Copies of this chain bind each other. A is one copy, B any other.
Amino acid sequence: MKQKHLVGLFAALSLALGAGIATATGDEPIQPVKPPVGINQAKAELGKKLYFEPRLSKSGFISCNSCHNLARGGTDNIPSSIGDRWQQGPIKAPTVLNSSLNFVQFWDGRAADLKEQAGGPIANPMEMASSHTLAIEVLSSIPGYVSEFRQVFGKNAIDIDQVTDAIAEFERTLVTPNSRFDQWLLGSANAITAEEKAGYDLFKNSGCTACHNGEAVGGNSFQRMGLVEPYKTDNPAEGRFAVTGDDAERFNFKVPTLRNVELTYPYFHDGAANTLPEAVDTMGRIQLGKKFTARENAQIVAFLKTLTGERPVIVLPQLPPSADKTPRPNPFN
């Protein structure tokens, strides 16, 4: 009888726990970040070299990692990036962390995927200011690259398609699972504090999850910046309109991921919000028509900081040296 009770208790308990876990993973608008699967390690390793490769720029000084810095939150933490000859970029560099989860790439979605994205900055005169032709000429002159590309792709010649493919493969490894919030989603009730949980409830109940949802807590839709109240900015970017020419899409931007948002300041496409409290306040006002109290703001910020995940361990690549015939960089002309 006593034993029967105990069995019953355990059954009820595990049912409740099971239900709890089911709720967290199944019914929440946010899903845990999954570790990357099916990575071609050799291709990703080559991609890492290319990601850190300043010789893909005209100056020999700027690499992908210059503006999407993996020692930080996958971004440069300045309002707009620094390009060739210190040109001021038009927009805040989005984080590369979890960028494989975005439904399209760039703030205006002009690239379908990471592979298409990777070719852009190399040839953009405001950014790395090289050309695909020059980049391939440089790589093809370097014996260390020639053999590694051949090993990975099994072809006789390096082309830009292989370059962007490898970079994208590396970028697919840059996901950040196991944040405290994901631990909570997966059933560890104590992984977040009561204050952080209150922040999450506010975040859901205020409507933030209408746009910031899914595995990346964003990154899966375009939305107008300034839904309830116009957003005031000096930044001339017009978002999705620049791609489609459709007036209805003016100021529509890809919703940024909130994963690791603690690390990706300053915020918004113009980098105008320096801090999370400021960003939360502005979002509440212009997107939701809400004025959060100081207490509410602090709770939401506390929740947002639980979205900081485990960053991948990056061993700095050892780039192969140029050969005598390698075209030299051109930083000052």
C-alpha gap A331/B87 in the complex (Å): 10
Instruction: Give the segment of A74-82, A212-220, A243-251 that binds chain B.
Output: A74-82
C-alpha gap A276/B326 in the complex (Å): 13
Instruction: Give the segment of A2-10, A146-154, A232-240, A307-315 that binds chain B.
Output: A307-315
The contact of A78 among B316, B321, B324, B329, by CB within 8 Å, is B329
Residue pair A275, B324 in contact (C-beta under 8 Å): yes
Residue pair B86, A321 in contact (C-beta under 8 Å): no
Residue pair A274, B315 in contact (C-beta under 8 Å): no
What B residues does A266 contact at CB under 8 A?
328
Chain B proximity mask over A264-277: 1 for CB below 8 Å, otherwise 0: 01100000001111
Instruction: Give the segment of A54-62, A159-167, A282-290 that binds chain B.
Output: A54-62
Residue pair A319, B71 in contact (C-beta under 8 Å): yes
Interface size class of A (residues with CB under 8 A): 35 or more
Residue pair A318, B71 in contact (C-beta under 8 Å): yes
The contact of A61 among B78, B275, B322, by CB within 8 Å, is B78
Residue pair B61, A331 in contact (C-beta under 8 Å): no
Chain B proximity mask over A295-333: 1 for CB below 8 Å, otherwise 0: 000000000000000010111111101101000110110
Where chain A touches its partner, the secondary structure class is loop
Of A86, A274, A329, most B-chain CB atoms within 10 Å: A86
Residue pair B85, A60 in contact (C-beta under 8 Å): no
Residue pair B319, A316 in contact (C-beta under 8 Å): no
For this chain, the copies found in one complex come to: 2
Indicate if A69 sits at the interface (CB-CB under 8 A).
yes
C-alpha gap A322/B276 in the complex (Å): 11
Residue pair A71, B321 in contact (C-beta under 8 Å): no
The contact of A316 among B70, B88, B324, by CB within 8 Å, is B70
Indicate if A155 sits at the interface (CB-CB under 8 A).
no
Which residue numbers of A lie inside 8 Å of B, CB to CB? 52, 54, 59-61, 66, 69-73, 76-78, 82, 85-86, 88, 262-263, 265-266, 274-277, 311, 313-319, 321-322, 324, 328-329, 331-332
Listed A/B pairs (19) with beta-carbon separation below 8 Å: A52-B71, A54-B72, A54-B77, A59-B78, A61-B66, A61-B76, A71-B317, A71-B318, A77-B322, A85-B86, A86-B331, A88-B331, A262-B321, A263-B321, A265-B321, A274-B324, A275-B324, A277-B324, A313-B316
- In addition to A60-B77, A86-B331, 9 A-B residue pairs with Cβ atoms within 8 Å of each other are A52-B71, A54-B76, A78-B331, A86-B86, A88-B331, A88-B332, A265-B321, A275-B324, A313-B315
